[in-house]
Structures are given as C-alpha cells and as structure tokens.
Structure 1
Amino acid sequence: MQGTVEGFEFGAVTPAASYLVACLGSALGLRCVVRSLNNRQSWKPGWLALGAATIGCGIWTMHFVAMVGFRIQGIPIDYDARLTSLSLVVAIVMVGLGVFAVGYRGATPVTLTAAGILTGLAVVATHYTGMAAIELNGSLDYDSLMVSASVLLAVTAAVAALWTAASYRGFPAALGAALLMGVALTGTHYTAMAALGVHLRGATDASYMSGMYGNSSPASVLLPMLIGPVVFLILAGVVVMFDPQLMLGDGDRSRSPQRRRGTVVVPERPAHPPRTGSLFDPLDQRTGVRDQRTAPRDQRVGRHTSSRGR
C-alpha cells in the first residue's frame, strides 16, 4: 500500500525556518574558517573546530526543522535516537575533514573544491541518515534521478559557497556565501524529499490508524532533540560577536606592511590583521602587552652577544 506523504504540514513556516537556520550555521562556520586563514596568530585548530561544528549543526538542525512539517497521513512515525545522533556526528566529521584541509593546506583551488565536495556530501549523508532513523510501519524508497539531482545541487552550491567565502573579503561576500550554503542545505533536503516514496506494510487501514493514533505531528518528537544544537548555534554566535573581524571580514590588508618592534622597523609578515581580543587568541596576543620581564633581558642578551662579536 502506498503512503501519502505530506512535507508542508505548517505551510511555508518550516521551509523558511530551516533556511534561516541553514544560513545562520553556514555564516558562523564560514567566518570561523576565514578567520583561521586570515589571521595566523589565532588559534587555528580552535577556529576550524568551531567552524566545522557550527556548519555541521546547521546542516543537522536544518534537516530536522524541515522534518517537523513531515508526516505520512494516518501513520504515526518515530525516530531512532542512535541514527539521529549518528547523522549529527556524520555532518560534523565530514565537514571537519574539508574545513581542516582548507585551514592547513590553504585556500587553493584544489583544496576548496575538495572541501566543497566533502561539505556537499555531508549534507547528503546527513539527510539520508536522518531519513533512515524514521521508524514506521512501512519502508522508504527513492527515485534515483531525484537523488542524483540532490547530490549535484548540494556539491555545486557548497563548492560555490566555499570559493566565495575564501576568495572575497567583507560582509557582502560573507552574506553571499551564507545564502549559497542555505540554498545547498534546504535545496538538497526538499529535492531529496521529492524523491521519497513510502510503502506501507500489509493491508494497513489508514483511517483506522488515524483514529487510533490521531493526527499527531512529529513536532513533539523532534523539538526536544533540536534544543541542544540550537543552543550551540546561539553560543557560537556569541563567540563570533566577540571578534568583529569574523563579522566584518578582513579589511586590514591595506595597512602598511611594516610595524615597529621596540625601536627597529621590521617587515611585516603578510596577511596579519590586528589583534582583536578573540576568545581563541593567547592572553599576550589579546592584551597586546609584552612580558616586561623578558623584553629587557632579551635586549641585554643581544647587546652582550654583540659586544662579544666585536
């Protein structure tokens, strides 16, 4: 027996909410990645890990926010907690592989493309793992052509978003990259849902099932699971707000390539924005204060070595 699938129980509310969550997670995550590229004095592993976790949580949260509006008429559905949790781990790990590759190998065309492919596949893997977590009296099948379209959309949009975020500076580029990632996530989800078919087991009477279980929505099951990832995204946003460079982009490359250390002017290393007081920067970098005990000692050692050379 073929089940009737409804993906928009609440109209445009769940698609709009899922898109906003996708854009938020993508914006925060991509800015963390760019932060690690533009400021070598920052704690790179911390920013990359935060970026991967934020994008992964954005992918997972987008999927299950959209699934709040999903139902099969007359049939109750539930979600397996282990597979649901696994889909979150898959999202973070796969995105992390691409993010750390960009962070440590640089924003080269090959690396950005590979990272975009991994991110797109993370979107797809999260979606289908999350769908596999659905428990119902039936089975799911998919149209292969629509599945291929969802994979192509996810990979293409993710590659374009990473290229935009890494290649251009400033708020417009960051916003454009986040919007592209939002398209990758929500577009993949609803394209994959269009490929979905449900076959109910046995001669299930839909009217009987509806009377027995009522027209309950999956919202009561999914909303408690969404609390943790949503809180994490909010906390990640707070961390980002402590570093204005993450929100505004790297606008400091036009500064003079020289700086003073003591009384000697030395060449500046490329692509070093000013210290911003980031939570991930070491204490001496956040305060900008040198250790007053070591500086005179270094100068004395330098003078002593110089006198010996004479």
Structure 2
Amino acid sequence: MPLIYDPSLVLLSLAVAIQGSYVSLRIALQIGGSHGLKRRLLLTGAAFSLAVAIWGMHFVGMLAARFPVAVNYLVLPTLLSFLVCVLVVGIALEAVSLGQRTHFTLIAAPIIMGGGIVTMHYIGMWALHESAHMSHNAFIVAVSILISVVASAVALWLTFDNVRRPSLFICATLLGLAISGMHYTAMAGTTFYPLPTAISPNSPAVSPALLAIVVAVVAFALSGVFLLTFVPEQSSKAPKPAAAPPTPQVELSLSTEAIPGSETGEEPRVESIAGVIALAPSPPLAAKTLPIEREGVKRSIRAEHIFAVHADAHYTFVFDGVDSIFCPLSIGEVEEQLAGEAFLRVHRSHLVNLDHVKCVRRAGDNAIAELIGSQPHTVPVSRTKFNELRALLKERAFRVGDELRA
C-alpha cells in the first residue's frame, strides 16, 4: 500500500541532510593540507558528521511516513546501518581529499559514497522486518542507486574543484538531495504488508513527530559540535606588522672656503662638503607575513620564507620548501596581502615566489615551475602565464648579474 508523509517532517529530514553535508564538506576540505593526528581527526570528524546527516535524514524520513501498523526498530540493524555508513563515507572522503585527485578517484569516490548511502538505507529498512513484510521494485531500486551516485558525484566534483567551485552551500545542497532523493525514491518502490502479529498503529507512547524532532535536534547538535571543533575561524586580516624603528638624526659637518676676492666684501659661498652625512641605512619596510596554522597552533610566516601558495576551497596551503601549511586566507586575499613582493599568480589556484623558482618548462600540453628546496616540488603554470613567468625569471637573472658586477 502507498505511504502518506508528513510534509513538515519531510522538510525537516532534508534540512538534516543538507546541514550535516555542509559541515562534513567544510571539514573534508582541510584534510588534504593536514598531517599526522590532525589529518586523522579531520577525516574522522568529516565521516561522522556526514554519517550522522545520512542516518538522521533516514530516521526522520521514516518517522515522516504514516505506516498502517506501529513500527518497532530493531537495535542491531539500526546501529549497524550507522556504523557501515561511517566506514563507507570515510573511505569515499579519504579517496577524494587525500593525495592527488585522479580520474579514478573522482569516479570511485562517488560510487563508494552513493553505495554507502544505499547500503545504509536498506540495512536500516531491515530494522522493520518484524513489524511489516516489504517487497521492493527492482527498477525503482536501480533508479534510487543512480540518483545517489550521480548526485554524490556532482557534489564531490564541485566541492573539490579549485577552479570552478561554487558556494559550498550549493555543494552541500546537492549532497543533501542525493541522500534524501535516494531515500524517498527507494521508499516509493517499497510495498509494505502488515504481519498478522503486527501491533495497531494507535499503540505507541511517543508520537513519530516528537521522536523526529528529537532525532533532528541531536543531529543538528552533533553537527554543530563538529563545526566548532574542526573548522577554523576564517579571517582576512594578517597579523599586524611591527612598528618601524624611529628615524635616526642627521648630522652634517660643513666647511667653507672663501672665493678669491672675498676680501672685497662679497658674500662667501660653500665650495665643498668636508664631512659626511651620518645617516643610518633606511629601515626596511615591515616584513609581510601570512597567518598559518600547524597542528592547531596559530602562527605567521614571512613572505621570503614562502615558496608557493595553493588554493583549496575557501582556504589556502603555504609551501615553505619542506611542508604545506594551512592558511585561513583565500587565494585572492593572499595575493592582495603579498602585493609588491616577488609573487606571481601562475595559475588560478597557485602563487609562486619568483626568488624560489629554479626553472619553468613545458610538460606535455601544460607547463610546470620547479622550485628550489630540500623537497622536490612543482607548481602547475597555465599557458597564458608561461611566457610571462619565463620573462620575469630572465629579467631577475639579468638584474642579479648586474648587481654582482657592480
């Protein structure tokens, strides 16, 4: 028999899915530039946050349905559905956020995530088998799987695309639609038959609406905890530079010699400066810095110690010749902060310090810049920036040669 849904609870289930997806994606975007314990914690937080969103949406969606009998949820399948969801989602997020994203990972990750959403749904449905007998329409089941995989693919591709990434809320909405779309499509292909021993639907002590609200509040609270714990505060302001030292006093020592014929009463004039102007070297401008965060500790890094900057979502990662360090600024804010320094935007998501570029060369249809450092590191260079970068490097080489000859 077809099911009837409470529209308000359907909207609540969609809100749970979108909110949890947003928090999970915000956390997952930081995984690529983290290391050690922090990387594991971020991956765990992203996986649990998304699993809570999927499981919470499923549970609220089930409570939104008006079944012909009272439904009792078995504990073991309900708990197992959540644990399987955490494991599968964690694998998908690890594949798409760690290391270099290839065509294989960008195809495998949505399949794994979509499969995890489907697996969680049907294990959760297994928790109802003592309350009603269920039959599934194979075609609609296949459609629900396709919705889950395709929507997950679009959400993940847009989230981890540094060039064409839209607002993260749009990505989270797409992932939330993948979760809820799969659920309600699968439910439309499921037929429920009351068992002879089923309990009357008028018997439960707690109404489905109240239980759904409780589940939603718990899901929102857990997502809020993950958001406050793992997502750093984004600031567009760099640390305030130190005040410049006071300008030293200028001392002059002058001597005058009378012009021949001054004895005639003409005013003598200055012929030479016998002393030297005692000026200290002009103080350098305050060093430009960027805020960074390593292992949860906020610090700053000077511009001359920065080899390259790589955009990742709304944040960036700074390469210091050895390691990539998280920076809370966007690539545009970093470029503005380092204006006037030896930095060039060689790609939509990459900045390089010209002082640390070893060479620039073609690599197939593209180009790369090799950096000087203890660790081999290359930066992609767009076609439109290749000639400009090469010209700047030659100009700087000639300038350094002239200075050495002088």
Same fold (TM > 0.5): yes
Counterpart position of 1:236: 226
Q: Which has the higher helix share?
A: 1
The answer as to whether partners of 1:105 and 1:111 remain within 8 angstroms in 2 is no
Counterpart position of 1:47: 42
Question: Aligned equivalents of 1:35 and 1:147: distance in 2?
Answer: 34
Q: Give per-residue Cα distances to partners, 1:75-123, cap 9 Å, x unaligned.
A: 1111001111111111110001111122333322321221111111111
Counterpart position of 1:130: 124
Q: Which moved more, 1:64-73 or 1:18-27?
A: 64-73
Quick one: which amino acid aligns to residue 6 of structure 1? Answer: L
Instruction: Go from structure 1 to structure 2 and tell me whether the alpha carbon gap of 1:50 and 1:199 turns closer, same or farther (over 3 Å shift).
Output: same
Question: Aligned equivalents of 1:264 and 1:35: distance in 2?
Answer: 22
Question: Aligned equivalents of 1:25 and 1:169: distance in 2?
Answer: 24
The answer as to whether partners of 1:76 and 1:136 remain within 8 angstroms in 2 is no
**2:173 is equivalent to residue 194 of structure 1:** no
Deviation of residue 42 (structure 1)? Answer: 9.1
Counterpart position of 2:105: 111
**Kindly, what percent of the aligned residue pairs are identical?**
25
Equivalence map 1:73-222=2 (5 Å): 73=68, 75-168=69-162, 172-202=166-196, 209=200, 213=203, 217-219=207-209
**2:49 is equivalent to residue 59 of structure 1:** no
Q: Which moved more, 1:107-116 or 1:85-94?
A: 107-116
Question: Aligned equivalents of 2:148 and 2:139: distance in 1?
Answer: 14
Q: Give per-residue Cα distances to partners, 1:42-97, cap 9 Å, x unaligned.
A: 92222122111111111111111111112322x11110011111111111100011
Q: Give unpaired runs (5+ residues) of structure 1.
A: 249-254, 278-310
Counterpart position of 2:391: none
Question: Aligned equivalents of 1:79 and 1:263: distance in 2?
Answer: 58
Query: Which secondary structure state, in structure 1, belongs to the residue aligned with residue 101 of structure 2?
Result: coil
Question: Aligned equivalents of 2:102 and 2:307: distance in 1?
Answer: 23
Q: Which moved more, 1:263-272 or 1:105-114?
A: 263-272
Equivalence map 1:265-280=2 (5 Å): 265-271=304-310, 272-273=317-318, 275-276=327-328
Question: Aligned equivalents of 1:270 and 1:184: distance in 2?
Answer: 33
Deviation of residue 37 (structure 1)? Answer: 2.4
Instruction: Go from structure 1 to structure 2 and tell me whether the alpha carbon gap of 1:132 and 1:187 turns closer, same or farther (over 3 Å shift).
Output: same
Deviation of residue 41 (structure 1)? Answer: 9.4
Question: Aligned equivalents of 1:215 and 1:5: distance in 2?
Answer: 25
Question: Aligned equivalents of 1:201 and 1:40: distance in 2?
Answer: 53
Q: Give unpaired runs (5+ residues) of structure 2.
A: 237-287, 293-299, 311-316, 319-325, 330-406
Query: Which secondary structure state, in structure 2, belongs to the residue aligned with residue 68 of structure 1?
Result: helix
Question: Aligned equivalents of 2:179 and 2:302: distance in 1?
Answer: 53
Instruction: Go from structure 1 to structure 2 and tell me whether the alpha carbon gap of 1:72 and 1:216 turns closer, same or farther (over 3 Å shift).
Output: farther
Question: Aligned equivalents of 1:40 and 1:225: distance in 2?
Answer: 34
Q: Give per-residue Cα distances to partners, 1:212-235, cap 9 Å, x unaligned.
A: x37974446666566654431121
Quick one: which amino acid aligns to residue 238 of structure 1? Answer: L
The answer as to whether partners of 1:98 and 1:115 remain within 8 angstroms in 2 is yes
Quick one: which amino acid aligns to residue 268 of structure 1? Answer: F
Quick one: which amino acid aligns to residue 265 of structure 1? Answer: E
Counterpart position of 2:8: 13
Question: Aligned equivalents of 1:27 and 1:37: distance in 2?
Answer: 17
TM-score after normalising by structure 2: 0.56
Instruction: Go from structure 1 to structure 2 and tell me whether the alpha carbon gap of 1:78 and 1:109 turns closer, same or farther (over 3 Å shift).
Output: same
Counterpart position of 2:24: 29
Instruction: Go from structure 1 to structure 2 and tell me whether the alpha carbon gap of 1:267 and 1:55 turns closer, same or farther (over 3 Å shift).
Output: same
Return the index of the structure with the highest Cα Rg. 2
